[in-house]
Structure 1
Amino acid sequence: MVRKQSNLPAAGNGRSSLSALQPIDSTPFKRPSGLAFIWFTILLMWLLSLLPWRLWQSAPDLLLLVIAFWSVHEPQRVTMLTAFVFGLFMDVHDAGLLGGHALTYTLVAYGAVVLHRRLTRFNAVVQAIHMLPVFLVAETLGNMVYAWLSGEWAGWHWLWSTLLTAALWPLAEFLLHMPQRRLDEADAGSV
């Protein structure tokens, strides 16, 4: 009779199966971001979104990306109201259908707030994969409402914009958490 070998650790080696588990994100708890830094990044992206580079049809929506990022990492400070107001600002700037960007930004902020507990446990690439459907559903609904009210389909360029926005999530994670990393390194060096 052949006995199957078990992959479980032996009882005599001192490590149980539960102590061998590693957390998904092994970094210590991150300190909250400064309110001034959060609003500086949002206002900076809003000002950059007013420039003519957004006329390129496949341009990523950087303001939406930053609002979604802060909605995931600081949901008490960046709320759906923030997303709605900046969406209205973009609607007024584009002189298009009033409420189109506001609807999209609010839906993305809602999705980010709903997923924030899950997303903070993963790295930036996995977060981008989780946020891609949120971006796609919000943009699809916004474009369907626009097509219904205007009587014409705007095309599929928004799909590339949505994919680029989600692809930029790891870069946003790196840049927007840079001040916290510097503070964490300074704290680690003082010990």
Structure 2
Amino acid sequence: MAEIRKTPISGVLEIFPKVFEDQRGYFFESFRSDWLEQHGCKENWIQDNQSFSQKGTVRGLHFQRGDHAQAKLVRVIQGKVLDVVVDLRKGSETFGAHYSTILDTEQHNLLYVPTGFAHGFSVLEDAIFVYKCSNYYHKESEGGILWNDSHLGIDWMVDNPIISEKDAQWQKLQEFKETSEGGL
């Protein structure tokens, strides 16, 4: 059975599967729905995504609005990333707070991100990143928070980050709060 740890932000869970190793290599269950169900999370995973990113890349902070909001179950199958979530839930006691953790191929850990969060990661070693989504990507519902917004105070653990043009243009948290009626 996996070890499931609650994080300081309600609803965000970190999952550490039980890994069986021997002289041949290793084996582990990378996903079981009952891991999340025992914590009240009953997602219908309908889309899997995979990306490769080189060391120094920062992706995020992304979210989907309204009926297209997505819960995510994220992990790394090669390399190491700093995974980051920001609480954007309207009325949440932790609105604007972030949580970050290292996801890597040594721990084989996963992070469950409920709807209502912005998500991103920085690449500490070249990485293949995979994640399940509870809803399909919908371009018109896409949004983001500026990755280096000083009000968030996130240490991305990379120097001279590689950022997409789109990710460099997202709004700051305060702007999001004002234009989104206080949250997602």
Please state which band the TM-score falls in when normalised by the shorter chain. under 0.3
Higher helix share: 1
Higher strand share: 2
- Using the size of structure 2 for normalisation, the TM-score is 0.26
- Using the size of structure 1 for normalisation, the TM-score is 0.25
Q: Which has the higher contact order (CA 8 A, sep 6+)?
A: 2
In terms of Rg, which structure is larger?
1
